[in-house]
Structure 1
Amino acid sequence: MIMMDKEKVIIVEGRSDKKKIEGMIKDSVEIICTNGTISRAKLDEWIDQLYDKEVFILVDSDEAGERLRKQLRREFPEAEHLYIDRMYREVAAAPKKHIATVLLSANIDVYADDW
């Protein structure tokens, strides 16, 4: 029996976060930005769109990021939460090497020459 990998999706807060990680990822991964907040309608749309995909949450390690993470945890209970070190606070501010380590820990392949 052949096992098919689920499509992977990473939810991030902002465009700068998306830009930072999209060039690092070797795998075919969709990156979705919340732009800080998500409307109920948008959340409902995502729930339908992402129900059969492997979802990862990668948000900032600040108060706004933790609020968003809590909301996404309720809506996507099966999602895997990825964390950057609190000393960097923002995904966009974290060194590529650190982000690569976080992504690799979730079995998301990255380009080694990027860091």
Structure 2
Amino acid sequence: MDNNSDKVIIVEGKSDKDKLISILNEPVEIICTNGTMGLSRLEELAIEIENRDVYILVDADEAGAKLRKMLQRELPNAEHLYIHKMYREVAKTPLMYLANILLGARFTINKNCLG
């Protein structure tokens, strides 16, 4: 994806990133934290993306909640996107459901994902 994009989505893992790439129909930088991030890396990231629209989309589990809290401290202006608890993981969330979440956050979506 394009690093010149104004939009950044932070996810936990590569499978989450791959799923979003298949849904999005606009250039968006998707950053994987690969679980948790060290504080210094998180601070660097916050500086790198401070003038962009940042969205946080993490799993609906304990690790995701912990990461969301850390990201919220470093990126207070980020918009939080949530999946339903019954799906637990972004990677296991149905495409159509994720597409609707992204649509609600004003992303351009690949029409095939809307059913």
Instruction: Please report the TM-score for the alignment, with normalisation by the length of structure 1.
Output: 0.92
Name whichever structure is richer in helix by fraction.
Answer: 2
* Offset of residue 28 of structure 1: 1.1
Matches for 1:24-103 after TM superposition, within 5 Å:
24-103=23-102
Aligned length: 110
Cα separation, 2, equivalents of 1:14 and 1:112? 24
Equivalent residue of 2:31, what SS?
strand
> One-letter code of the match for 1:25?
L
> Unpaired segments of 5 or more residues in structure 2?
none
> Unpaired segments of 5 or more residues in structure 1?
1-5
Instruction: Please report the TM-score for the alignment, with normalisation by the length of structure 2.
Output: 0.92
Q: After superposition, give the CA deviation of every residue in 1:32-65 in whole Å (9 maximum; x if it has no partner).
A: 0000010122112101100100000000000000
Equivalent residue, structure 1, for 2:109 = 110
> One-letter code of the match for 2:91?
A
RMSD: 1.1
* Offset of residue 109 of structure 1: 0.9
Equivalent residue of 1:11, what SS?
strand
